Structure 1
């Protein structure tokens, strides 16, 4: 147990170290773009769009059409947005955040009772990122990961029992998010000229779309200018919904520059993932993003990834969106094959030129 505990970033952060171990230091090429997140958040320039969700379900056809067009524009240009008036009660999102934060306040020995074991395939539970890339680099984060929905596929034995509100709050939130995902995918389908339920069907529908919860815990970092909470990546999901504790950190690679997302109260951040990028034949954007850390404040985010089943569906550009002038940009793959492809490509890139994302 000692070796596992000592690998936790929280243990490192609370040990009083003044400099971070070399495996957490980003490559030289990346360091030039890592700034103080609080200063970065204040910068002027392009901003992540804010989308008001209430009009998407309006009975007024004109109001609804305009709202769908606004969502479409954000999905095509940014692929990430702050959702406001999303219909999930603030009281519930507060409960979810309180429950997750309380779990991470437990002594590490308590949290270790929920430790995952990636080597044996037990991916649900409490963990820290293993060095699974060619450079052997680590990210400045611990996390808690589990399947949240559908209810019949959950394994509640891996969910935290402390605090007592974790299971009820997270269960209710997952159910609310599932409805929100339907609402968003319906609007995104209509925006492409498709039947309203088309995208949802293509990612597994009510029965098979999985909602995976990942609570990311980014401890204070003594040298935040050298580290990343999470390295640059695009999400493989169809959609990702994110709550956070109002500490900035999310950065988006937009028009050749890293843009820091501002904190918008009572919003949920939503990413378009690779799955919808593939189905839309590249029309909807899966944006490269990463997470900065800081010296002063712990950052926590609650990400829920809406994922198609791994093997039973073939993801490919929808035939209605493919033409001679717009040929298919992606070959047919299962979700599992897409993940493998990304890991293989990343390994190849790192071996050829470390941190070539910058």
Structure 2
């Protein structure tokens, strides 16, 4: 099987089994490793528009320290905007394969943008049950419309409208996270690239899978972004690793799921934790999600904020480096 074979095409042929390269080891298989015991905790949920904004800051900071992930409701993105985002993304993945391939990621590309299947290198040659589409959505100067689908015709306008709202949500989150560290409201956004932060949309498509007990849609990882703002569909699958166990994320209609990424962990000098998470798949339904990764520009240098270093003992476990170098090491499984 060549690397360009898409999971969606494999799924359409599968009957009651899946190819060997998709079968995870026993310490990864969802049927074995998902926690189903008593008192399963819920990922924290925060009302972003609550009148007590000091409490909002406290709840976001607590969730970011203890979980690295939280959900937000009353975030200001109209439900109809989210619904349209989901509709046009689903439309794209239901197109004939040759139409989707028109947006394929070039084989020699240094960017992640485009339609594809494989992302990170797996030392054991294993694959995830997932096809995806990447393209930047903000700022306008970094957009390459080559990778934005022209079918459905409304795709571009819908994504532009959604992005307008996401930028506003991101500013609120960065401000709350900064205040939660006792810093000025613009500290973390400034450390991650300020107005030059790049917003990379990824649409994940996880086809129905005949053996969801054996495989994963996305394997366990932390995001290399500063923050990730994610819209899921109604099919469950997102799991977070907490207290040495894998816990299912509860689906809340129209909520956004926020991931603390590696760059905010670095900037906060470890006070906020980049969340280890993975995705399972369904036997009956296609699961989809729409994460937007907030990333520093490639040449932007990220390191712990000086305000969070002790002048008397400025040592830190986090290295200061260009984002592009961090990303290269992360995707190629090299030490940072």
Q: Name the counterpart of 1:356.
A: none
Q: Name the counterpart of 1:140.
A: 129
Change (3 A) 1:160 1:43: farther
Give the gaps of 5 or more residues in structure 1.
349-358
Separation of aligned partners in 2, 1:94 and 1:177: 14
- Per-residue CA deviations over 1:59-92 (Å, capped at 9, x if unaligned) read xxxx221221111111111111111000011110
Separation of aligned partners in 2, 1:4 and 1:249: 25
Change (3 A) 1:121 1:132: same
Give the gaps of 5 or more residues in structure 2.
none
1:29 deviates by 2.7
Separation of aligned partners in 1, 2:324 and 2:287: 30
1:130 deviates by 5.4
User: Does residue 1:224 correspond to 2:212, yes or no?
Assistant: yes
Would you say the 8 A contact 1:24–1:138 is kept in 2?
yes
- Per-residue CA deviations over 1:264-302 (Å, capped at 9, x if unaligned) read 111010101010000101011111000001211110000
- Per-residue CA deviations over 1:1-54 (Å, capped at 9, x if unaligned) read x9676x1111110113321111111123323x53598x95x9741110001100
- Per-residue CA deviations over 1:231-284 (Å, capped at 9, x if unaligned) read 000001111011111110000000100001010111010101010000101011
Separation of aligned partners in 1, 2:22 and 2:38: 27
1:137 deviates by 1.0
Separation of aligned partners in 2, 1:121 and 1:190: 36
Separation of aligned partners in 1, 2:151 and 2:64: 38
The 5 Å alignment of 1:200-211 reads 200-206=189-195, 208-211=196-199
1:45 to 37, 40, 58: 40
Separation of aligned partners in 2, 1:14 and 1:78: 37
Separation of aligned partners in 1, 2:136 and 2:40: 37
Aligned residues: 334
2:84 to 71, 95, 100: 95
2:238 to 247, 250, 254: 250
Q: Name the counterpart of 2:328.
A: 340
Would you say the 8 A contact 2:26–2:32 is kept in 1?
no
- TM-score, normalization by structure 1: 0.88
2:17 to 16, 19, 24: 19
Select the structure that is richer in helix: 1
User: Does residue 1:304 correspond to 2:292, yes or no?
Assistant: yes
Change (3 A) 1:189 1:300: same
Q: Name the counterpart of 2:112.
A: 123
Report the aligned-residue RMSD: 2.2
Would you say the 8 A contact 1:279–1:315 is kept in 2?
yes
Instruction: Give 4+ residue runs of structure 1 displaced > 6 Å after superposition.
Output: 2-5
Q: Secondary structure at the match of 2:71?
A: strand
